[in-house]
């Protein structure tokens, strides 16, 4: 009886072991199989294995056991394949092999992935699930943090796109190296992400940690994760991001410096012919020029006072940045966080397609009701919001994407915490960065633009304003309070501040005024709604750019006969294009704005980098001059002698 019982238990143990190994084998590399088309990819560096540098007791046996159970020689598997037709190099660090700990093999594979992707000019996607450094390899393991971080930074500096996906858990040396260095960082819901583990922290501080501490949602709230994505949606989101980076912007200008005069101004004659032609064509768009402003003021159309325009700019039904994003762009992917400690939801930003070209979109975000306004802090960013915007501008510069910004804010948030975290420094750093940003930049004031809080994301090549928008040094209430010690005189302040679109255009402080319907722009009305543009027209518009291709075209394979061409939205989301449900008046404004934007971007895309930077410098160097002083050519102001 006892003999049969022992045999039964032995067989049961073998069965359990087989089931355990089977589960590990099926789980190992599962994310790569879900990511790549058909689950197919060419594995890279498969034969790499550790030499057990310390001769650590029991390490060899543990490696052998995990190799049998996973079918892999270490915790990282990497390969090349296609994601919705887009070639990509991807890797997965799996917790099924020694909890995904990073030893010499994992570190070497990650570094090789970045180097191979650089050689092949492919984007990199890495899924991480790790407990950190591999203790059994000691300092050899620790130095993999330095190796992988250096490899990731080198790849990014050479223009490569790196998407990092944090899964449960991503901790220790992996979290504190390559995993948190992505251009875009995604995370799975509920994933534990952090350097020290929760138990270590609790033992150190002697306190119980709050629920949700270090989870993916916590990290997004603190600005360290761009987006939380369900596992089943991960392929679509990554494919969207790859597509938005795979389509090349329409930049035609070279990188050679412009021929500069002795005074340092760009010699406009040396700008490309295409740039000059586009500049001439700009005046034919749907904008309000000075003649039209005088005509409107002299017509029977009601002349609105500056105070009335302020109220229209602040109206609760006026379109917000989110509405313009929906009305003008396709496939918008929102990104989050300043990577320094906080997500500021009063700034909205991300990547989208505009007329077939990828662009970076940034804007002040206001709510449509009290609850939303409280959530978005009434569109008043703190330093974290400005740093988030700057991060997106820097990425736009790296990937040569134009920047389009929508301005609508009462001003920067005037709070204690904002000052403690460096509000002034954040705004100053943005202004300095925008002055030398090496990519076209158009800023559009859609509502109210007050103070440095508005200027901090609007120092573009051109500043446009909607007809009933306002832009000023301070809110009228603040202006009256400071100068007259009486905030109730705000109506009077509106008159003297010269803050309306027409006034600023006349003064040369705004470059364009975009007309609105007679009653002002409203998004709240439900009647007379229609799409922002006919789907066929939009598809043709994208096709004319020459960027529309099918998945097989992208992969460099021969296209099968009869395959239909896809619109920008179809290629991004894999779904049929839907008409955006917008009020007719707003749709018309979006259409006009879109035409002007397209021409403006073509104009600035024809500039060389040096021409673009010099144009922007001279714009702000010469703006807002009210004095008659002029330096005598060739002299020094200080020494009064010829230079």
DSSP 269: G
The whole-angstrom separation of Cα 607 and Cα 258 is 9
pLDDT of residue 573: 44
| pTM, 2 dp | 0.83
490-497 and 306-313 helices, crossing angle to 10°:
100
The stretch 128-141 carries a mean pLDDT of 96
pLDDT higher than 50, residue 194: yes
pLDDT of residue 27: 77
Q: Cα separations (Å) of 505 from 294, 510, 511?
A: 12, 5, 6
pLDDT of residue 247: 82
| pLDDT class of 26 with cuts at 50, 70, 90 | low
pLDDT tens track for 377-400 = 999 999 999 999 999 999 999 999
The whole-angstrom separation of Cα 205 and Cα 202 is 5
For the chain, the average pLDDT equals 84
Q: How many CB atoms within 10 Å of residue 498?
A: 15
Of the chain, the percentage scoring pLDDT greater than 70 comes to 77
pLDDT of residue 246: 86
The whole-angstrom separation of Cα 91 and Cα 75 is 10
Where in 26-130 does DSSP place strands (E)?
A: 42-44, 76-83, 86-93, 124-130
pLDDT higher than 80, residue 334: yes
SS (H, E, C) 441-499: EEEEEEEEEEHHHHHCCCCCCEEEEECCCEEECCCHHHHHHHHHCCHHHHHHHHHHHCC
pLDDT higher than 80, residue 312: yes
32-36, 436-440, 477-481, 530-534: which range is least confident on average? 530-534
Higher pLDDT, residue 553 or 144: 144
pLDDT higher than 50, residue 230: yes
Tokens of 591: 């259409």
Q: How far is CA 620 from the centre of its chain?
A: 26
Where in 144-224 does DSSP place strands (E)?
A: 162-171, 184-187, 193-194
CATH assignment of 268-291+306-533+582-622, given 3.40.50.300, 3.40.50.620, 3.30.830.10, 3.90.226.10? 3.90.226.10
The stretch 149-170 carries a mean pLDDT of 97
pLDDT higher than 90, residue 497: yes
pLDDT tens track for 476-492 = 999 999 999 999 999 99
Structural domain spans, the chain: 20-246, 268-291+306-533+582-622, 534-578
pLDDT higher than 70, residue 178: yes
485: alpha, beta or left? (left if phi > 0; alpha if psi -120 to 50): left
20-246 and 268-291+306-533+582-622 have identical folds: yes
The stretch 106-126 carries a mean pLDDT of 97
Question: Is residue 420 within 8 Å of residue 382, measured between CB atoms?
Answer: no
The stretch 348-372 carries a mean pLDDT of 96
* Rg of the Cα atoms in the chain: 29
Helix/strand/coil for 32: helix
Higher pLDDT, residue 533 or 361: 361
Higher pLDDT, residue 86 or 583: 86
304: burial class by Cβ within 10 Å (0-12, 13-18, 19+)? middle
Task: Report strand pairing: 347-354 vs 330-334.
Answer: antiparallel
**154 sits in which H/E element:** helix 138-157
The stretch 46-51 carries a mean pLDDT of 92
Of the chain, the percentage scoring pLDDT greater than 90 comes to 71
pLDDT of residue 580: 53
pLDDT of residue 251: 55
pLDDT of residue 233: 96
pLDDT higher than 90, residue 603: yes
Question: Is residue 348 within 8 Å of residue 363, measured between CB atoms?
Answer: yes
565: Cβ–Cβ under 8 A, 6 or more apart, which residues?
A: 539, 543, 548, 549, 550
468: burial class by Cβ within 10 Å (0-12, 13-18, 19+)? buried
135: Cβ–Cβ under 8 A, 6 or more apart, which residues?
A: 101, 141
* Residue of 484, 490, 128, 532 lying closest to 328 (CA atoms): 532
pLDDT higher than 90, residue 9: no
| pLDDT class of 583 with cuts at 50, 70, 90 | confident
pLDDT tens track for 268-308 = 344 334 444 444 444 445 566 666 665 555 555 568 999 99
pLDDT of residue 260: 39
Helix/strand/coil for 105: helix
Tokens of 271: 């700008």
| pLDDT class of 102 with cuts at 50, 70, 90 | very high
CATH assignment of 20-246, given 3.30.390.30, 3.40.605.10, 3.90.226.10, 3.40.462.20? 3.90.226.10
Where in 335-397 does DSSP place strands (E)?
A: 347-354, 357-364
Q: Can you name the residues that pair with 531 across neighbouring β-strands?
A: 581
């Amino acid at each position: 009886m006892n003999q049969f019982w022992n045999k039964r238990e032995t067989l049961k143990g073998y069965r359990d072991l087989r089931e355990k190994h089977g589960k590990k084998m099926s789980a190992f590399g599962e994310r790569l199989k879900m990511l790549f088309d058909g689950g197919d990819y060419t594995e890279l560096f498969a034969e790499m294995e550790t030499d057990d540098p310390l001769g650590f007791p029991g390490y060899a046996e543990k490696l052998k056991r995990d190799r049998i159970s996973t079918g892999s020689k270490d915790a990282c598997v990497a390969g090349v394949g296609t994601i919705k037709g887009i070639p990509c190099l991807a890797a997965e660090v799996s917790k099924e092999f020694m909890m995904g700990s990073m030893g010499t093999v994992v570190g070497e594979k990650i570094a090789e992935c970045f180097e191979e992707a650089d050689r092949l000019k492919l984007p990199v996607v890495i899924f991480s699930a790790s407990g950190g450094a591999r203790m059994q390899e000691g300092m050899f393991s620790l130095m993999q943090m330095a190796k992988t971080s250096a490899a990731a930074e080198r790849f990014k500096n050479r223009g490569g796109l790196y998407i990092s996906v944090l899964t449960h858990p991503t901790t220790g040396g992996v979290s504190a190296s390559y995993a948190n260095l992505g251009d875009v960082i995604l995370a799975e819901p509920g994933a534990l992400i952090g350097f020290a583990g929760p138990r270590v922290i609790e033992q150190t501080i002697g306190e119980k940690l709050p629920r949700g501490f270090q989870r993916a949602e916590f990290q997004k709230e603190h600005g360290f994760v761009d987006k939380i994505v369900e596992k089943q949606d991960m392929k679509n989101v990554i494919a969207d991001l790859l597509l938005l980076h795979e389509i090349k912007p329409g930049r035609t200008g070279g990188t050679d410096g412009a021929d500069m005069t002795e005074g340092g101004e760009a010699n406009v004659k040396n700008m490309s012919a295409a740039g000059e032609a586009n500049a001439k064509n700009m005046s034919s768009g749907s904008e309000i020029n000075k003649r039209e402003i005088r005509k409107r003021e002299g017509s029977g159309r009601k002349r609105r006072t500056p105070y009335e325009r302020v109220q229209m700019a602040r109206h609760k039904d006026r379109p917000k940045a989110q509405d313009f994003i929906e009305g003008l762009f396709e496939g918008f992917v929102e990104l989050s966080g300043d990577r320094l400690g906080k997500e500021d939801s009063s700034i909205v930003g991300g990547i989208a397609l505009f007329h077939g070209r990828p662009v970076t979109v940034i804007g002040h975000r206001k709510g449509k009701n009290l609850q939303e306004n409280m959530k978005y802090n009434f569109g008043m960013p703190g330093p974290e919001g400005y740093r988030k915007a700057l991060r997106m501008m820097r990425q736009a510069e790296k990937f040569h994407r134009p920047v389009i910004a929508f301005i609508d804010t009462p001003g920067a948030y005037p709070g204690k915490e904002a000052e403690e975290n460096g509000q002034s420094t954040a705004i100053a750093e943005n202004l300095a960065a925008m002055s030398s940003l090496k990519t076209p930049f158009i800023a559009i004031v859609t509502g109210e633009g007050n103070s440095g809080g508005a200027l901090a994301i609007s120092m573009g090549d051109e500043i446009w304003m909607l007809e009933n928008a306002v832009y000023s040094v301070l809110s009228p209430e603040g202006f009256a309070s400071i100068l007259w010690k009486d905030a109730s005189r705000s109506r009077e302040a509106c008159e003297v501040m010269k803050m309306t679109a027409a006034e600023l255009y006349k003064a040369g402080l705004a470059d364009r005024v975009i007309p609105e319907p007679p009653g002002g722009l409203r998004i709240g009305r439900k009647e007379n709604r229609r799409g922002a543009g006919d789907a066929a027209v939009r598809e043709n518009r994208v096709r004319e750019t020459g960027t529309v291709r099918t998945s097989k075209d992208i992969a460099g394979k021969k296209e099968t006969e009869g395959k239909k061409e896809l619109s920008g939205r179809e290629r991004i989301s894999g779904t049929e294009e839907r008409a955006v449900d917008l009020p007719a008046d707003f749709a018309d404004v979006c259409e006009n704005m879109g035409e002007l934007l397209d021409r403006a971007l073509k104009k600035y895309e024809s500039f060389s980098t040096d021409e673009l930077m010099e144009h922007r410098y001279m714009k702000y160097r010469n703006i807002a001059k009210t004095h008659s002083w002029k330096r005598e050519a060739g002299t020094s102001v200080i020494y009064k002698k010829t230079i």
